[in-house]
Amino acid sequence: MTVRVRIAPSPTGLLHVGNVRSALFNWLFARHHNGTFVLRIDDTDVERSEQQYEDDIKSGMTWLGLDWDEGVDVGGPHGSYRQSDRFDRYRDVVDELIGAGHAYYDDRSPELLDELRNKAQKEGKHPNVYIRRPDTEATSGVVRFSVPQDAPIEFFDLVRDEMRFEAGVVDDFVILRSNGTPTYHLASTVDDVDYEISHVIRGEDLLSSTPKHILLTRAMGADPATYAHLPLLFGPDGKKLSKRHGDTSLKAYRAGGYLPEAMFNYLSLLGWSYDSETTIFSVDQAVERFDLEGVSKNPAVFDVDKLQWMNGEYIRAIPPDDFAQRARPLIEVELGHPPTESEWSIFVEMSPLLQERVKLITEVGEMSRFLFVDDVDFDEQSWSKVMIGETPVLALSVAIRHLTELGDWTVAAIEAALRAVLEETDLNPRKGWQPLRVAVTGSQVSPPLFESMAALGRPGTLHRLSVALNRLADEPEG
RNA sequence: GGCCCCGUCGUCCAGCGGCCUAGGACGCUGGCCUUUCAAGCCGGUAACGCGGGUUCGAAUCCCGUCGGGGCUGCCA
C-alpha cells in the first residue's frame, strides 16, 4: 500500500491545536507506513488568507517535528502546493464538469435560496432539497455541482466503518464562487485527486461533506481516497474547541513554556493510545505502533492539566545540561541581557533544582529571579506570614553571625552553620529557617535554602539577611 | 427541523461475549520522605446513561430511548 496523506490548513488564523492533532495523526500514519506526508496551503479564501498565518503554520509544524515530504517550501512533483497558484486548474475542472453536465451556473439571488431552504425546513425535509438545477439555464453567477439524486452514497471510513448517506440528502453545492474562486470542496477534492492522496484523514466535522467530495471525485473520473474521520477536540464544556476556551493556538502553548515533545505526546493521546498502560512514549514508539484501527470514535476534551503534568515529566527527563541551555533564553529575558559568565555559572549551579520544580519552562525566569537582583522584592504575603513575632529577628541575627564566621562557603558548610543556628536558638526548622528563606529569596516558596545561599555567595546572602533584619527593626510591630 | 456521528471514573484512554468483584493516566485526596515548594514512594476516591432483547453468560451484539456533538454558507 502506497500511503500519501496530507494536511491542508487554511492560513486564515493561527494554527489551531485541533488542526495540529489532525496533522499529527496524518504524520504518524505516513511515517508508520513509510508513506508521504504532504503540506498543502488551503488559501482559497483570498479575503482572509494572510502570509503571517502561513508562516505560523510552517513554524508550528516544524517546532512539533512534523516534517513534510512534499509541500510548500520543499516542493514536490505536483507543482505548487498553494491553492491560490492553482486557480486555473480548478477553472479547467469546472469547465469540464459543466461540459459533462455535472455542474451548472446558478444566478439565483441569495434571498430566493434562503426562501427555498426555509421552505424545505418547514416541510421537515433536508434543508437543501429544493436547491437543485433550475429549469432556466443561467450563464453567470456561481457554479453548482449537480448531485445525482438516484443513488445513496456509501463509503468505508477507517474510523467509523460503513457510512451511508441516502439519495437526496446532499444539496447542489457551490464549487465556484461568483468571483471566480473555487470553494473548499472543489479545490480540496481536485488537489486530493491530482496529488494522488491515498487517505484523507481529517476531523469529524467534515464527515457530512464527504459525500460531496466522493461525488466530485467520481465526476472527475477518479477513484476516491480512503477516508478516516477523527473525533473532534472539545473544550471543557463539551463543545468544539474554540477561542472561547482560552488558548487554542499552538503558538500560545509554545510561548507558554510547553515542550514540543510533551505536546506531541499529549496530542497523540487524544483519540489514540499506545497500549492500555503506557502514557509517556517517544515519537519513534508512536510511529512504530500508530494505526488508524486504534483511533477512538468519541470526541476528546483537551485537558490542560494533564498536558501540564506531562510537560513537567518531560522537563525532568531532560539531561541537566540541555535543560540549562533550553532555559537560557528565559534567563536572558529575565536579565535583560545575555548572561555574563558569572551570572551563567550561578544559574547553572541552581539549574537542576529549578528543573525539578517547574512544569513550564517559562517558570524558570521567575523562579530564578532572586539570583540576579541586588535587592529582592519581598512577596508581601510571604513576609507577613513568616516575619511575625520575636523569632525572625533572633533567627536572622544568629544566622548572620554564624554565616559570617563560616570558613568554606559550600552547601555542606552552610547547612552545618544553619543547623548550629537551630541549636543555639532552640528553634525548629520552620521557625528558624523560613525567615532566612524569605530574606534571601523573597518568598516562602523557593528552591532549597542552602543551595540558594551557596549560589548567591556570601556577600549577597549576608546583605539580604541584614536588609531583612533592618526592615524588621523598622517595623513598629513584629 | 433534517442528515450524520458519539455515549466506560470529573477528564483522556484500555476493554472488541466469559480473564471485569472493569485496568492505566491526569485531577482530587490520605500518608511517608523532608529546610519551604516541588519531585519521589505508598494508599484512597470515582464510571459501563436508561429500558428492552439475543445468549448458559454482555461494558462488549441488536433494538428503542435519553443525552451530547457535528453539519445544514459564494468559511474551511
For residue A265, what pLDDT is reported? 98
**Rounded Cα gap, residues A327 and A351, in angstroms:** 9
Find the residue closest to B15 using CA and C1' atoms: A276
> For chain A, where do the domains classified as CATH 1.10.1160.10 start and end?
243-316
pTM of the full structure: 0.94
How many angstroms is C1' of B45 away from CA of A94? 61
- Within 8 A by CB and 6+ apart from A70, the residues are A36, A37, A38, A39, A76, A77, A78, A81, A195
Find the residue closest to B13 using CA and C1' atoms: A273
The nt closest to A47 (CA vs C1′) is B75
Q: End-to-end CA distance of chain A, in Å?
A: 78
The nt closest to A131 (CA vs C1′) is B72
Give CA A390 to chain center in angstroms: 51
Catalytic residue among A243, A251, A306, A385: A243
For chain A, give me the number of helices (H) and strands (E)? 19, 12
The nt closest to A8 (CA vs C1′) is B76
Task: Say which amino acid occupies A325.
Answer: Q
Fold adopted by A380-474: Arc Repressor Mutant, subunit A (1.10.10)
Give CA A284 to chain center in angstroms: 20
How many angstroms is C1' of B40 away from CA of A323? 20
The nt closest to A144 (CA vs C1′) is B74
Find the residue closest to B70 using CA and C1' atoms: A205
Positions of E strands within A276-364? 300-301
How many angstroms is C1' of B49 away from CA of A237? 18
Q: Is A243 a catalytic residue?
A: yes
The nt closest to A239 (CA vs C1′) is B69
Q: For strands A4-7 and A70-71, give the pairing.
A: unpaired
How many angstroms is C1' of B20 away from CA of A275? 18
What class, spelled out in words, does domain A243-316 have in CATH? mainly alpha
Task: Say which amino acid occupies A56.
Answer: D
pLDDT digits (tens, 9 = 90+) for A342-391: 999 999 999 999 999 999 999 999 899 999 998 899 999 999 999 998 89
Is the four-CA dihedral A242, A243, A248, A249 of positive or negative sign? positive
Q: Are A224 and A214 in contact (CB under 8 A)?
A: yes
A142 grid coordinates: 456561481
A92 grid coordinates: 479547467
Q: What angle do CA A58, A63, A69 make, to 5 degrees?
A: 55
DSSP string, A376-414: PPP-HHHHHHHS-SSHHHHHHHHHHHHHHH-SS-SHHHH
For residue A120, what pLDDT is reported? 85
How many angstroms is C1' of B8 away from CA of A297? 13
Fold adopted by A86-230: Rossmann fold (3.40.50)
Find the residue closest to B26 using CA and C1' atoms: A306
Q: What angle do CA A39, A25, A307 make, to 5 degrees?
A: 115
The nt closest to A296 (CA vs C1′) is B13
Task: Say which amino acid occupies A237.
Answer: D
pLDDT digits (tens, 9 = 90+) for A183-241: 999 999 999 999 999 999 999 999 999 999 999 999 999 999 999 999 999 998 888 88
For residue A478, what pLDDT is reported? 43
> For chain A, where do the domains classified as CATH 1.10.8 start and end?
318-369
**Rounded Cα gap, residues A20 and A60, in angstroms:** 9
The nt closest to A277 (CA vs C1′) is B24
Find the residue closest to B16 using CA and C1' atoms: A294
Q: Are A93 and A61 in contact (CB under 8 A)?
A: no
**Rounded Cα gap, residues A150 and A162, in angstroms:** 20
How many angstroms is C1' of B52 away from CA of A124? 30
For residue A244, what pLDDT is reported? 77
The nt closest to A419 (CA vs C1′) is B35
**Rounded Cα gap, residues A73 and A75, in angstroms:** 6
Q: What angle do CA A362, A364, A367 make, to 5 degrees?
A: 125
Positions on chain B within 7 A of a protein C-beta: 1-8, 10-16, 23-27, 35-40, 68-76
**Rounded Cα gap, residues A445 and A195, in angstroms:** 57
Q: How many angstroms separate the Cα of A156 from the Cα of each of A23, A202, A215? A: 21, 14, 14
- For chain A, how many residues are written? 478
Fold adopted by A318-369: Helicase, Ruva Protein; domain 3 (1.10.8)
Alpha-carbon torsion, ordered A176, A179, A183, A186, to 10 deg = 40
Q: For strands A233-234 and A174-176, give the pairing.
A: unpaired
How many angstroms is C1' of B43 away from CA of A280? 23
pLDDT tens-digit profile, chain A (478 residues):
799 999 999 999 999 999 999 999 999 999 999 999 999 999 988 888 999 999 999 999 999 999 999 999 999 999 999 999 999 999 999 999 999 999 999 999 988 898 888 888 888 777 777 888 888 888 888 999 999 988 899 999 999 999 999 888 899 999 999 999 999 999 999 999 999 999 999 999 999 999 999 999 999 999 999 999 999 999 988 888 887 787 889 999 999 999 999 999 999 999 999 999 999 999 999 999 999 999 999 999 999 999 999 999 999 999 999 999 999 999 999 999 999 999 999 999 999 999 999 999 999 998 999 999 988 999 999 999 999 988 999 999 999 999 999 989 999 999 999 999 999 999 999 999 999 999 999 999 999 999 999 999 999 999 999 999 999 988 765 4
> For chain A, where do the domains classified as CATH 1.10.10.350 start and end?
380-474
Q: Are A215 and A150 in contact (CB under 8 A)?
A: no
**Rounded Cα gap, residues A275 and A286, in angstroms:** 10
How many angstroms is C1' of B28 away from CA of A314? 23
Task: Say which amino acid occupies A22.
Answer: S
**DSSP-assigned beta bridge partners for residue A202:** A229
How many angstroms is C1' of B7 away from CA of A270? 17
How many angstroms is C1' of B19 away from CA of A285? 28
